[in-house]
């Protein structure tokens, strides 16, 4: 008897600096997506059918994730039991080396579960380092992990935004607008005008916060959507 594929919800993190974003791209590009590496690692687990990661939340070039999510169906050869969560996490992490991508956890979910459409909310954090007169003053271990606009005392700020879904580059526009107001480049009235226009093209491109400071912090789901009906599944 041949069983169907097992569906898993996988949480993973990555430094986005060296990737074109999280989504899959053509392998001949200078920068490719995190998804390319996830699927390459999964194929080395020798499934009996090609593997496709369905990503919960898109992130752009240079954006990082503390915990993104995806669901994946894995069909094993006849006679082989589905991977346990621990086996899947360990196997994927082994084949992801030395990329700065790590699987945090995995769990079996129903075949109807979808990582993108079942998400209740997504939380982003934007990290600002204030008080640097020049980019060379950014600590070496913080470069590519924050934005250091001029002005203010030397201190870190974090802007946290939570919502069910976000528009393209929405968080970076929001943070850029806040910084522009603080620097006196925008007036509060200007922000109101941009909101009333409801046109992303009206936002000055030079005022958008850079990708380096943005982190996808978490993706939340309902436990009812995660629990396989009538089955006990091992969690990592």
Model pLDDT for residues 40-68, shown as the tens digit of each residue? 999 999 999 999 999 999 999 999 999 99
pLDDT value, residue 206: 86
- The tens place of each residue's pLDDT in the chain, 236 residues long, gives 457 899 999 999 999 999 999 999 987 777 899 999 999 999 999 999 999 999 999 999 999 999 999 999 999 988 899 999 999 999 999 999 999 999 999 999 999 999 999 999 999 999 999 888 888 888 889 989 999 998 777 889 999 999 999 989 999 999 999 999 988 898 989 889 888 888 888 888 888 999 999 999 999 999 999 886 554 444 44
- Nearest alpha-carbon partner for 10 in 96, 98, 124, 97: 96
pLDDT value, residue 230: 53
DSSP strands (E only) in the chain: 6-14, 53-55, 64-74, 101-108, 121-130, 155-163, 214-220
Taking CA atoms, 137 is separated from 86, 144, 213, in Å, by 42, 13, 16
Domains along the chain with CATH numbers: 6-118 (3.30.70.580), 121-217 (3.30.70.660)
Q: Model-level pTM? A: 0.89
Phi, psi values for residue 165, rounded to 5°: -155, 160
What residues act catalytically? 60
The residues facing 157 across adjacent strands are 128
User: Do residues 191 and 177 lie in contact, with contact meaning Cβ atoms separated by under 8 Å?
Assistant: yes
Q: Using CB atoms within 10 Å of the CB of residue 178, give its burial: 0 to 12 exposed, 13 to 18 middle, 19+ buried.
A: middle
pLDDT value, residue 150: 80
User: Do residues 207 and 185 lie in contact, with contact meaning Cβ atoms separated by under 8 Å?
Assistant: yes
The DSSP secondary-structure symbol of 170 reads H
The pair of structure tokens assigned to 163 is: 């919502």
The residues facing 162 across adjacent strands are 123
pLDDT value, residue 236: 41
pLDDT value, residue 122: 98
Task: Locate all alpha helices (DSSP H) within the chain, ordered by sequence.
Answer: 34-43, 85-96, 170-182, 188-197, 223-226
């Amino acid at each position: 008897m041949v069983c169907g594929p097992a569906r898993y919800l996988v949480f993973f993190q990555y430094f986005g600096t060296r990737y074109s974003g999280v989504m899959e791209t053509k392998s001949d590009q200078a920068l490719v997506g995190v998804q390319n590496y996830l699927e390459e690692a999964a194929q080395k687990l020798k499934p009996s059918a090609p593997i496709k990661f369905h990503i919960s939340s898109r992130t752009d070039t240079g954006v990082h994730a503390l915990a993104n999510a995806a669901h994946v169906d894995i069909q094993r050869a006849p006679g082989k039991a589905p991977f346990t969560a621990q086996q899947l996490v360990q196997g994927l992490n082994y084949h992801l080396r030395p990329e700065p991508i790590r699987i945090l956890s995995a769990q079996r979910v129903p075949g109807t579960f979808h990582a993108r459409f079942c998400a209740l909310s997504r939380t982003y954090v934007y990290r600002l380092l204030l008080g640097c007169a020049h980019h060379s003053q950014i600590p070496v271990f913080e470069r590519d992990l924050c934005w250091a606009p001029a002005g203010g005392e030397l201190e870190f700020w974090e802007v946290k935004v939570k919502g069910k879904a976000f528009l393209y580059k929405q968080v970076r526009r929001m943070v850029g607008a806040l910084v522009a107001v603080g620097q006196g480049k925008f007036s509060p009235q200007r922000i109101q005008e941009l909101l009333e226009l409801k046109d992303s093209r009206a936002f000055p491109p030079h005022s958008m916060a850079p990708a380096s400071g943005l982190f996808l912090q978490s993706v939340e789901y309902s436990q009812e959507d995660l629990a396989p009906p009538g089955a006990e599944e091992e969690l990592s």
